[in-house]
Amino acid sequence: MKAEIIPFKTGVTSCYLIRGKEIVMVDSGMPNKPENFKRMLSENNIEPDQIKLMVLTHSHFDHSGSAMMIRDLTGAKIAIHESEKDCVEGDRVLIPKGVNFKGKITKPLVFSFRITFPKFMPDILLNETNTPYSLAEYGIDGYIMHTPGHTVGSLSVILNSGEAIVGCMAHNGFPFRRRPGLPIYAQDINNIIENWKTLIDKGVTMVYPGHGKAFPIEIMKTCLNYPAIN
């Protein structure tokens, strides 16, 4: 049976629940936003303990900021790439580059604000030996894939039905882009481009970004036809 994807927002961040036999959450969103999360659970008739796993696409505060609060509420295990362990346990921050004009002029402003969030120890550390990481035990036909580029440890969740939840492998909407496409910040934009080619080859049909609404893969195919970042 095809898994259901439930999107919800915390601030400017798009988070997702994947509902199969059990529920896997992708990203926790901004810190200090418990009301958004609890309201979403109520609207979808979900009990907190139905969420068994939280996958963090990367360690930036707007994606990992509420992870500890949500784990305390749900009992879910937290998974993140091992290369970003120090960022959620301590004060290390991975700062990407601006990869287009807007990214270059806004990067000093965006990343000069070190918004703090409650630190935590992850339960599952992903690396090259255990990814792709199957979600079969949660009744979900899909897996977690290492997709570095925005940060060195960036992760995506790929469903075999064609959906890809990709964190900041793509941006779509305020405050980053007016239209969907490649991210405006990345530690290595070439890694991101290669990952997109891999996802296209895997048959991904719909993209769920870390900021903004879902969009069809055809948009990414168009972006990759041009050497410049649109």
Q: Which residue has the higher pLDDT, 226 or 225?
A: 225
pLDDT (tens digit, 9 = 90+) per residue, 72-85? 999 999 999 999 99
Count CB atoms within 10 A of the CB of residue 3: 21
Q: Which of these ranges, 105-119, 135-149, 152-166, 195-209, has the smallest mean pLDDT?
A: 105-119
pLDDT of residue 229: 41
Which sign does the torsion angle of CA 175, 67, 188, 16 carry? negative
Could you please state the CATH topology (level 3) that the domain comprising 4-223 is classified under. Metallo-beta-lactamase; Chain A (3.60.15)
Per-residue pLDDT tens digits for 18-60: 999 999 999 999 998 778 899 999 999 999 999 999 999 999 9
Output the CA angle 124-204-46, nearest 5 degrees: 55
Q: Is the pLDDT of residue 184 over 80?
A: yes
Above 90 in pLDDT, residue 154? yes
The full set of domain ranges for the chain reads: 4-223
Q: In this model, does residue 225 exceed pLDDT 90?
A: no
How much is the pLDDT for 226?
A: 43
Q: Per-residue pLDDT averaged across 122-145, rounded?
A: 98
